[in-house]
Chains A and B, each alone.
Chain A
Amino acid sequence: MQELFDSGWGLSLIVFLPLVGALVLALIPRRFEAGIKWTALVTTGVTLVLAGIMVSLFDFSATQEFQFGVDVEWIETINANFHIAVDGISLPLVVLSTLIMFLSVIYSWDHWPEPHNPKLLMVLAMVLATGMVGTFLALDLILFFVFFEVVLLPMYFMIGIWGDTGIRKVPVVNWEIEMRLYASIKFFLFTLAGSAFMLLGFLALYFASGDHGERTFDILELTALGTAGAFVGTFAFWVFAAIFAGFAVKVPMWPLHTWLPDAHTAAPTIGSVILAAVLLKLGTYGFIRIAIPILPDEARNWAWFIGVLAVIGIIYGSLACLAQTDVKRLIAYSSVGHMGFIMLGVATLTTIGINAAIIGMVAHGLITGLLFFLAGSMAHRYHTREMPRMGGQMTLMPQMGVLLGLAAMASLGLPALAGFWGEFMSLLASFNPLPGLSNSLFRTLMVIASVGTVLTAGYMLWMLRSINFGKPSGEWVSAQLKDVGTYEWIAWAPLVILIIAIGLYPKIVFGATNDAVINLVASAFGGG
């Protein structure tokens, strides 16, 4: 195994095994469902095992170094290489992605959304897996862009085909349009628009790098150039703006977030889970991997702006949550708030802030993933997502109630659960941002963001009050709702365990990220 990874094939397998799985799935006849399920399960399972092996072989004493790398020529004419490798920053995210995919397949075992087509759903999921993991591992801008875009289409189809068939009334233009159509197109167009700018930014970097030697798309070479001060001034400003557009849509940052509530709400359960747990992190990861290291001076200039948008997102998202009656929409808006905390951490440009952002990304993936699983399963049972109609779940389905309670508590940042670290540490970082950034601004942001923690608690408790407590109404008592099933338990237990484990032992994440982040900040901002 050591050789497999040292030769670079290990990482390539983690990236492309799902794609192979997708091809195999494509060959299996649609009616042969057991074969489809097992192929998907084995594919994601082996990928997860490989990711586990990667962790066990990973040298945690040198997390700032890129390990198990491959760097081979890919498109010679433009000097784009197939360059992938893992360091302490990408490691937790790769594991998160592979885990979420595996759990989604398990969950799907007896939860096939309508129209019934396991084959297509699984093929799309496998393609998604390749795109997500590839994005986290890519060290070449073109490769990164390709993986980043590969994610788009399967998710678009997932929402468009299996999404909510209710009617969405679109204000302003007075449309009435099927929810899944509206949501899927909105998701697609928003991300696409962002990516177009991002690609422009990448190309600009490519051409600019020509002034300092051979033109390159290599992230590490560009980072070295950027750190040495190769990209400055108006040029760098516009490049950062372009890249910012691409990532800010994905995160999403206020006010580019409006695709998210629609997409999350409309998507089928595993779509929402993957979207929330992994896809959003592609944006924040992009900031940490590309925008900040390559354009450190511009990151400094933009920090206040990012910080302000992040905090607006926290307050605004939380307030929007308080006005929701649809449980899935509430969880969706909560992501706007949580990603705000992550971006606030990033905006401080400090080791603590970026560490906070990464653990926040992992925690949000686990917690919101679990919340969307739960919301999906509840909607499946109640046939409604309207919270005012629910109630008394602790009596109807005690296990589901307890899990929802735990997930809600984790989401509101309860200490000793995973969500606490990202929230608390990004507040900590904002009190002392990178020297040169405005202390008074970031301290003000810290205070406002901490008001956000109160609002977060408010809507989560409101959700629990509506769903879990009270006397169940007659329609549910007679409906004989089934409590958490076996496949659900198998799919959710790892999330619950990790939420508690990271809460108690944050070294699970910090052990990988800390040195890497210290190195990143030191080389970008000199010691920072």
Chain B
Amino acid sequence: MPAAVAQLSRVAVFLQEHGDSAELAQAGDGGGLAAYAWLIPVVPMVVAFLILFFGKYSPWKGWGMATAALGFVAVYGTVLAVANLRDGIVAEFSVNVGDIGTFAIEWGWVVDGLSILMFFLVGVVGLLVFVYANAYMKGDARYTWFFASFTLFAGGMLVLVSAPNFIQLIVGWELVGVSSYLLIGHYWEDMDNIDAANKAFMTNKVADAALFIGAIIMSLSAGSFQFSEIFTRMIEGQTTLGQFGFWAGLAIFIGAMGKSAQFPFHVWLPDAMAGPTPVSALMHAATMVTAGVYLIARLFPFYQLPEFSGSVSTIIVIIGAITLLSMGLLAIVQDDIKRVLAYSTVSQLGYMVAALGVGAYTAGLFHLFTHAFFKALLFLGAGSIIHAVHSNNMSDMGGLRKYMPATFWTFLVGTAALVGIFPFAGFWSKDEIISSAFFNATNNPEFAVWFMVVLSILGAFITAFYMARVVSLTFFGTYLGDAKPHESPAVMVVPMVALAVGAATAGLLNIPGLTEVVTDWVTTRAFPIVEHHFAQPEYFLIAIVTPVVLLGLFIGWRLFGPSSELHYTGTGGEAVDVSAPQRKVAVERDTFRIPVLYPVLENKYYIDDLYMNGLVRPTMGPIADATLWVDMNVVDAVPNLGAGVARYAAAAVAVIDDNAVDGFYNVTGATTGATGSFLRQLFPGRVQQYVALSFAGVVIFAALFVIF
């Protein structure tokens, strides 16, 4: 297994052409640390199967093994991250597992800044979520099964992010898809959950079909499945990609849209909240859904230059921008706290996607990095609340600040990080995205980029607004639930505190002109990343965005906070006794009831309905039924009619047989005439003989041919 390290010299020409804007990392090969990095995906994979078979008999029923595996990844990932920041690591290893034509099928692992980022996130956030799940899942009927599937996810995700080629990427891609399916459907007694799981799988499968096509076009054009080989050929101008670059880029982006739930493929993610909350935190917020962003980042050497990918990046920007705003708006009208966070996740993924589209590679990944901490934290907080009040609905919550102080304070940190309050994590990463977009817009005034700038700022407002609403409705006002709320046990609180520390400080790692740790981290790639670096924070953008965020928080707080009358009045404005049974009506406090807009938002822009009634139901109903009908009545009509004719012919023969042949035999006194009864047996009911006869006929026919 040769280490195909950094084709540094091969891209020299490329660097000259693009001047100093392309920065090529000076990196080592990571030595043994990189050479043994295959353990990172393999250990969780193996452990997942060990848990499946032996988990029940192990200490902690599988949780121990799972957490140990994640702990291993966390430690290895951290060590690699440190080594990468110190020396830089760019290494790639492949093992051949078969050849098809001239194409080599290989499993391997890439160790560079980008993959190390994902190792680190999956390991560290994963470990914390697994620890939390110990208590959260306690008493679950399928505790061991849960950890087997969850560890399978971690393994699949690591297979994905360590992939040096399209085939392995697709393997990891679908493995996380399957584990997502299993975990969304974890409570499989309830068919709604299975429907949610199927929706997730099928939405992704549609996008995956596009990903397959894109991967096929790119691989064929370069004669290899390997990313580094494809990029090298591309830079050297040796691919047959040509005008297919656009289509390949678009198809792959559609694949990314599925996994990262971009508009209009977002429909599965909110429903995916049917899974246990730790799953929502790790898979459907922090890591799995970022796979699409990761994919664009992995292929960034291709996407960054229009001479390869055409105008795909414009499409990426527009999709990301639409997603970040439209999904943020949907978060406003949700009652289920996890759904709010789900739409928020989609919206934040929109920021990342748009950032990569606009060429802000580091900014997009930086946001991925900070988002992993604060969104996992918010989900764990939501899980802690759900654990306490036995409901997902904010209309069953309220006033929890007093009962769950640790959850409250950590949730508040997560909120500050998400909406982008100085100096919490999201402030820095979102600012970098908006700054990059603005820089691009001023230097290369294109509609798409300005579109993104405006929508990003509006998105920041919306984010602040819905988070103010969530915090108000859950932690302030009066408690409206049935169960007696209580703070969660330490094993749940400790991971939340740890994530809160990350959510508070992760942003400090990449202050323009000051720290820039993440920039160094993620640009350590074999291929140059062309992007703009800021020498200092863009103060005037901060001066615009921060007031916008504060305004959003203020309005949200005014509308939904304790001073609002909403807590005590129904939708019609009448006073309601909160202890009365009709309190549910009262706290449909979603009094963000702008006429036209509200029904549109509540019905999710009718997109789910469109898919269901325009695509799924017709296919599974009339179209499938019609196909089957045609099969039975049209395609099969020819042989059936043929058989019918044969049957009547046989009947006719039998009649002749009965009246003539039998008569002849009877006349001649022959008993049980061989021919007579033989022919009579042609009549249906004795069809076996009929067929045997035809076979004999063919054999004789063949024999005659053979002999003469």
A window 162-184: CB within 8 A of B: 170-173, 175, 177, 181, 184
Return the CB mask of A448-479 against B: 1 if under 8 Å, else 0: 00110111011001100100111100000000
Query: Can you show 13 pairs from A to B with CB atoms below 8 A apart?
Result: A171-B633, A171-B637, A173-B643, A196-B698, A320-B624, A323-B624, A323-B625, A352-B101, A355-B100, A395-B189, A416-B174, A424-B170, A457-B201
Contact B174–A316 (Cβ < 8 Å): no
B-side residues, CB < 8 A to A, are 96-103, 105, 107, 167, 170-171, 173-175, 178, 185, 188-189, 191, 194-195, 198, 201-202, 205-206, 208-210, 212-213, 216-217, 219-220, 619-620, 623-625, 627-628, 631-633, 635-637, 639-641, 643-644, 684, 687-688, 690-691, 694-695, 698-699, 701-702, 705-707
Asked if A470 and B191 make an inter-chain contact with CB atoms under 8 angstroms apart, the answer reads yes
By a CB distance below 8 angstroms, the chain B residues around A152 are 695
Residue-wise, chain A 274-289 has the 8 Å CB interface mask toward B (1 for contact) of 0000000000000000
Q: Contact at A470–B100, with CB atoms within 8 Å? A: no
**Bound complex: CA of A149 vs CA of B697, how far in Å?**
13
Any chain B CB within 8 A of the CB of A120?
Answer: no
Are B627 and A319 interface neighbours, CB within 8 A? yes
In this assembly, does A62 line the interface, its C-beta being within 8 Å of a C-beta of chain B? no
Shortest beta-carbon distance, B109 to chain A, in Å? 15
CA distance A258 to B635 in the complex (A): 8
The docked-state distance in angstroms from the alpha carbon of A188 to that of B185 is 44
- Residues 65-92 (chain A) with a chain B CB within 8 angstroms: 75, 77-78, 80
Is the CB–CB distance between A320 and B212 below 8 Å?
A: no
Cα–Cα, bound, A296→B171 (Å): 35
A113 within 8 A of B: no
9 closest pairs, A vs B, by CB? A322-B624, A507-B98, A510-B98, A319-B627, A323-B624, A351-B101, A323-B628, A415-B171, A506-B98
A392 to B194, CA, bound (A): 12
Given contacts A320-B628, A428-B216, A469-B191, contact A172 B636 (CB under 8 A): yes
> Are A199 and B702 in contact (CB-based, < 8 A)?
yes
Given A427-B216, A470-B188, A453 and B209 contact (CB-CB distance below 8 Å): yes
Asked if A435 is an interface residue, CB under 8 A from chain B, the answer is no
- CB-CB < 8 A to A518: which residues of B? 101
Flag if B188 contacts A468 (CB, 8 Å): yes
Scan A311-329; emit 1 where CB is below 8 A from any B CB, else 0: 0000010011111100000
Q: Is the interface of B mostly helix, strand, loop or mixed?
A: helix
- The answer for the CA separation of A517 and B100 in the assembled complex, in Å, is 9
CB distance from B609 to the nearest CB of A (A): 19
Q: Is the CB of A181 within 8 A of B220?
A: no
Q: Are B100 and A425 in contact (CB under 8 A)?
A: yes
Interface of A is mostly: helix
CB pair A470–B189 under 8 Å, yes or no, is yes
Q: Which chain A residue shows the least CB distance to B175?
A: A416
Q: State whether the Cβ of A48 lies closer than 8 Å to any Cβ in chain B.
A: no
Interface residues in A307-365 by Cβ distance below 8 A to B read: 316, 319-324, 350-352, 355-356
A185 at the interface (CB under 8 A from B): yes
CA distance A424 to B174 in the complex (A): 13
A153 surroundings in chain B (CB, below 8 A): 695
A101 at the interface (CB under 8 A from B): no
A142 to B217, alpha carbons, bound, how many Å? Answer: 43
Residue count of chain A within 8 Å CB distance of chain B? 87
Q: Is the CB of B695 within 8 A of A320?
A: no
Q: Which residues of chain B come closer than 8 Å to A451, judged between CB atoms?
A: 209
Assess whether A498 is interfacial by the CB under 8 Å rule: no
**Distance between Cα atoms of A453 and B640 in the complex (Å):** 31
Closest residue of A by beta carbon distance from B159: A416
A42 at interface (Cβ–Cβ under 8 A)?
A: no
Contact B640 A173 (CB under 8 A): yes
Assembly CA distance A115 to B619 (angstroms):
40
Using known A-B contacts A181-B687, A320-B627, A457-B205, determine if residue A189 contacts B639 with beta carbons closer than 8 Å.
yes
B697 CB to closest chain A CB (Å) equals: 9
- Which one of B170, B640, B688 contacts A172 once the chains associate, using CB atoms below 8 Å? B640
Residue of A nearest to B45 (CB): A416
A323 to B188, CA, bound (A): 23
Task: Report yes or no: B635 in contact with A255, Cβ–Cβ below 8 A.
Answer: yes
| Residue of B178, B202, B206, B631 most packed against chain A (CB within 10 A) | B631
Question: A220–B620 Cα gap in the complex (Å)?
Answer: 48
Q: Contact: A458 with B202, CB < 8 Å?
A: yes
Please determine whether B105 and A506 come into contact, CB atoms closer than 8 angstroms: yes
Q: Which of A416, A425, A454, A506 has the most CB of B within 10 A?
A: A416
Count chain B CB atoms within 10 A of each CB in A320, A355, A415 and give the residue with the most.
Answer: A415
Which chain A residues numbered 422 to 454 have a C-beta less than 8 Å away from chain B? 424-425, 427-428, 431-432, 446-447, 450-451, 453-454
Per a CB cutoff under 8 Å, which of A185, A458, A510 touches B691? A185
Smallest CB gap from A423: residue in B: B212
Q: Give complex CA distance A514, B173 in Å.
A: 27
- A258: B residues at CB distance < 8 A: 631, 635-636, 639
Q: In the assembly, what is the distance between CA of A295 and CA of B252, in Å?
A: 39
Does A190 interact with chain B (Cβ within 8 Å)? yes
A13 touches B (CB below 8 Å): no
Chain A: CB-nearest residue to B182: A405
Residue in chain B with minimal CB distance to A75: B706
Nearest CB of chain B from residue A428's CB, rounded to whole Å:
5
Contacts A350-B101, A505-B97 given: A142-B216 contact, CB under 8 Å? no
- B101 neighbours in A (Cβ, 8 Å): 350-352, 355, 514, 517-518
With A185-B691, A451-B209: A465-B641 Cβ-Cβ less than 8 Å: no
Whole-angstrom distance between the Cβ of B257 and the nearest chain A Cβ: 15
Contacts A153-B695, A320-B624 known; A432 to B639 CB distance under 8 Å? no
Contact (Cβ within 8 A) A510 B100? yes
Tell me the complex Cα distance, A461–B201, Å.
9
